[in-house]
Structure 1
Amino acid sequence: MNRLAGYTYFFAVLCALLLFSGRSLAVEEAGDAEKVVYVYVVILDVDAISSADQSFTINYYAQFRWTDPSLAHPGPGSIRRSLNDIVAPRFILLNQQKTWSSLLNLVDISPEGEVIYRQRLWGDFSQPLRLHDFPFDSHTFELPMLAAGDLGEQIKLLPDPDYPSFISSELSVADWSITGYSEESRDIVLTDEAVGGGYVFSFQAKRIFNHYVIKFIIPLILIVAMSWVVFWIDPSEAGSQLSVAVTAALTLIAYHIALAGKLPDIPYLTRMDMFLFCSTLMVFTALVEVVVTSRLASDGKLHLARRFDQVSRVLFPSVYLGTAGWAFFSAAA
């Protein structure tokens, strides 16, 4: 009896070892396997691009297509099942923020086992931006995707050769111009030590700066030019000079307050910030020049005060033109 029990125990242990070995081998083979998923992306609309929030809002459609022989069926047509009811990759948009989906979590399966999963999202996606050239900047906006499989299965995302991705020609965003788009399969760096193979759809956009030139840059130039009027007022009329100079300075302060909410809130200087700083410095320098010439006139040195004004008529516009050119056309930081 004891011998029979010993044989039974030995047989059970042997079966357990064989089962464990077989399962380990299956997992190892699954880990070495690679499933190809073809991706098709359409940007239906770009609603907004927010420089301050470092994000963009889009209406997006994607189709994922792969083959799984285990899902083949008699047919004759395709069947529809829930994505949660089958063994399927899970697709992740890495820069997704707040989004809403308008399609159900379903897949269509052909008799041959071809699976098609469709996804449509609307919402916000993060995008780090380098705004040093604002408002003459252009950027690349990306939708990086990763896919995770079961049992260590490796998923390779590739652009769908049958359905080339594209972006709609008519978009809602008003202050940006879409200059191009592309799609590629590439490694995506998650951390310093983790790299995942993924798919990236990207589009290039250039800011339309006419709005900023007409509403912000030209009025600022006029405010600075108003401060130069003092150079054509005789230094003997110190009251009139000071009145114009102070009015220009107060107008510039009000302009700064009005412009505060229109510029991106970032911890570094943009081209627009440098231009604002140069313009403010010019108006303040003109005010200082008026104080100096008024003091010279009151001290009986009217000729020297007039000479200062004559030089300033040429010096100030020349310096301003040079600093404006440096601010807008120098190499990006």
Structure 2
Amino acid sequence: MSQNPRRGSPRSLVQLLALALGVWLLLVPRPAVAAPEAVTVGIYVNQVASIDLKNNAFTVDFWVWFRGPHRATSPLDAFEIIDGRVNSKANIIKKTLANGEDYAAMRVNATIHRHWDLRQYPFDDHDLEIAIEDADLDATRSVFVPDPESQGKDPDVVVSGWDIEGFDHRIDTHLYHSNYGDTSIADTAETHYSRYVVVLHAKRRGSARFLKVAFALLIAVLVSWCAFFIRPKDASPRVSVSVGALFAAAAGTLAINSQLPDVNYATLTDKTVFLCLGMICLSLVGTVASLSLHYLGREADHRRLDKIGAVVFPLLFFVLFFGVVR
């Protein structure tokens, strides 16, 4: 007896349906994703008022402007300075250009916080960064575009003790690992914002700063060296010279530390302080040893020790000193 052929299996029907769905997805046009609006931004630095190493900050005066399509909230009202605060705003300009774009500009005085790298202080150089973001729209809706023809810095920018060189800029997309609870910004725990960054380079002017910082320490070491030329029988003046030099160096150290923030590494100045204090202590040890030999009646030995100390002490100091500051 013949059997009726099978017209189809459930598996073949599923495959046909999947194929039809795939063709439909290819043919049906997808909704276009709106591109973020481009906002042209620029900064012109008028002056760097101060560089404050102690408080990890610098104060800068600059013009900032935005140019782009019209929107409800102007970028001039929505931008924020990263790690900084606006001290004052002046000369606010808002208008519509002939091409229909909105233009907004103003003069800003701001204090911006930076974590300085002070390992080479006082031969340190630093980058002064001015970074701004649009606090209203994330990078899916607004991105910055630099204005290289108009941005820059005034050639008369001067900071006492520093040379302000160069003017670099870049556009970053900064990632924040939060949407700050606003699901209209993003439905994930991450948001991206366009960031415009301007970098000025502050370089130390000459070596005068080092002499001002270390002068008291160097004098204290010189005074402690003089102890080797005082006769052991003048015990009180000889000990007083070394002890006085030690206290002078300690006072100089306090003055240096008052100019810098607390850091968890040794700066070049710290290394110089350690060297100077160590040499003064070495002079004090030599003084005590020479006095001990004198009281024991070993005159030839204490004279020999003083002569060796008078020669070796400065040589050792200069070798170690140039090893530290090179």
Residue 74 (structure 1) aligns with? none
Per-residue deviation, 1:293: 0.7
Q: Which runs of 5+ in 2 are unaligned?
A: 1-30, 179-189
Does the aligned pair in 2 maintain the 1:178–1:205 contact within 8 Å?
yes
Of 229, 234, 253, which aligns to 2:250?
253
Deviations 1:266-315 (A, max 9, x none): 33211001101110111121112101110111001121111111221222
Residue 114 (structure 1) aligns with? 101
Does the aligned pair in 2 maintain the 1:132–1:269 contact within 8 Å?
yes
TM-score by length of 1: 0.77
Residue 115 (structure 2) aligns with? 128
Of 164, 170, 173, which aligns to 1:178?
164
Is 2:143 the counterpart of 1:146?
Answer: no
Of 188, 209, 212, which aligns to 2:209?
212
- Partner secondary structure for residue 134 of structure 1: coil
Residue 33 (structure 1) aligns with? 35
For residues 174 and 88 of structure 1, the distance between their equivalents in structure 2, rounded to whole angstroms, comes to 31
Q: Which runs of 5+ in 1 are unaligned?
A: 1-27, 72-82
TM-score by length of 2: 0.78
For residues 319 and 195 of structure 1, the distance between their equivalents in structure 2, rounded to whole angstroms, comes to 57
Residue 9 (structure 1) aligns with? none
The alignment's C-alpha RMSD in Å is 2.9
For residues 289 and 303 of structure 1, the distance between their equivalents in structure 2, rounded to whole angstroms, comes to 15
Does the aligned pair in 2 maintain the 1:274–1:327 contact within 8 Å?
yes
Does the aligned pair in 2 maintain the 1:48–1:172 contact within 8 Å?
no
For residues 269 and 87 of structure 1, the distance between their equivalents in structure 2, rounded to whole angstroms, comes to 43
Relative to total residues, which structure has the larger helix share, 1 or 2? 1
Residue 88 (structure 2) aligns with? 100
**Greater displacement, 239-248 / 87-96:** 87-96
Q: 1:198 to 1:247 in 2, by over 3 A?
A: closer
Residue 61 (structure 1) aligns with? 63
- Partner secondary structure for residue 40 of structure 2: strand
Q: 1:186 to 1:227 in 2, by over 3 A?
A: same
- Partner secondary structure for residue 32 of structure 1: coil
For residues 324 and 195 of structure 1, the distance between their equivalents in structure 2, rounded to whole angstroms, comes to 49
For residues 75 and 199 of structure 2, the distance between their equivalents in structure 1, rounded to whole angstroms, comes to 29
Does the aligned pair in 2 maintain the 1:235–1:294 contact within 8 Å?
yes
Task: Give the letter for the 1:183 counterpart.
Answer: H
Per-residue deviation, 1:232: 1.8
- Partner secondary structure for residue 159 of structure 2: coil
Per-residue deviation, 1:223: 1.5
For residues 119 and 180 of structure 1, the distance between their equivalents in structure 2, rounded to whole angstroms, comes to 23
Per-residue deviation, 1:225: 0.9
Task: Give the letter for the 2:247 counterpart.
Answer: L
Q: 1:301 to 1:220 in 2, by over 3 A?
A: same
Residue 51 (structure 1) aligns with? 53
Deviations 1:203-246 (A, max 9, x none): 11112354423323233212201111111223343333223222
Deviations 1:34-72 (A, max 9, x none): 21111121111100011121110011111111134xx8x
Q: 1:140 to 1:100 in 2, by over 3 A?
A: same
Residue 239 (structure 2) aligns with? 242
Among all aligned residue pairs of Structure 1 and Structure 2, give the percentage whose two residues are the same amino acid. Answer: 24
